[in-house]
Amino acid sequence: MAAFRGASAKVFGLKDNKSALPYLLLIPGLLWLAIFFIVPIFSLGQMSTKVPGADIGEFVQEYRFSNYIDAFNSSKEQFLRSFLYGLLATIIALAIAYPLAYAIAFKSGKWKNILLVLVVAPFFVSFLLRTIAWKQILGEEGPVVSVLRTLNIISVNTSITSSAFAVVTGLAYNFLPFMTLPLYASLERIDPRTLEAAGDLYANGFTTFRKVTLPLSMPGVVAGTLLTFIPAAGDYINATILGSPSNKMLGNVIEARFFKIVDYPAAAALSFTLMAAILILITIYTKRTGTEELV
Partner 1 sequence: MKNLTKWLSKNLIRIYAFFAFTYLFIPVLYTFVFSFNDSRKTNLIWKGFTLDKWKNPCGAPDICSALGNSFVIGFTATAISTVLGTLIAFALGRYRFKGRSATNLLIFLPMATPEIVLGASLLTMFVNLGINTSILTAIIAHVMFCISFVVVTVKARVASLDPRLEQAAMDLYANEWQTFRRVTLPLVAPGIAAAALLAFSLSFDDFIITNFTAGTVNTFPRFVYVSAGRGIPAQANVIGSAMFFLALFIVVAAQIVSSRRKAKI
Site residues for partner 1, 172-201, by CB under 8 A, read 173, 176
Site residues (CB under 8 A) for partner 1, limited to 60-99: 96-97, 99
Among 84, 87, 241, 256, binds partner 1 (CB under 8 A): 241
Site residues (CB under 8 A) for partner 1, limited to 98-127: 99-100, 102-104, 107, 113, 115, 117-127
- Which window, 44-52, 68-76, 151-159, 186-194, contacts partner 1 (CB under 8 A)? 44-52
Among 6, 63, 141, 287, binds partner 1 (CB under 8 A): 141
CA distances from 280 to 123, 182, 285 (A): 30, 22, 9
CB 242 within 8 A of CB 175: no
What's the min distance (Å) between Cβ of 275 and partner 1? Answer: 5
Comparing CB distances to partner 1, the nearer of 90 and 131 is: 131
Phi/psi at 52 (5° precision): -60, 140
Comparing CB distances to partner 1, the nearer of 128 and 201 is: 128
CB atoms within 10 A of CB 194: 12
Residues 6+ apart with CB under 8 A from 293: 219, 222, 223
What's the min distance (Å) between Cβ of 70 and partner 1? Answer: 17
End-to-end CA distance of the chain: 21
Among 7, 23, 147, 280, binds partner 1 (CB under 8 A): 23
CA distances from 44 to 30, 252, 265, 270, 273 (A): 20, 18, 8, 10, 11
Among 84, 132, 190, 203, binds partner 1 (CB under 8 A): 132
Quick check: 53 binds partner 1 (CB under 8 A)? Answer: no
Among 6, 29, 192, 245, binds partner 1 (CB under 8 A): 29
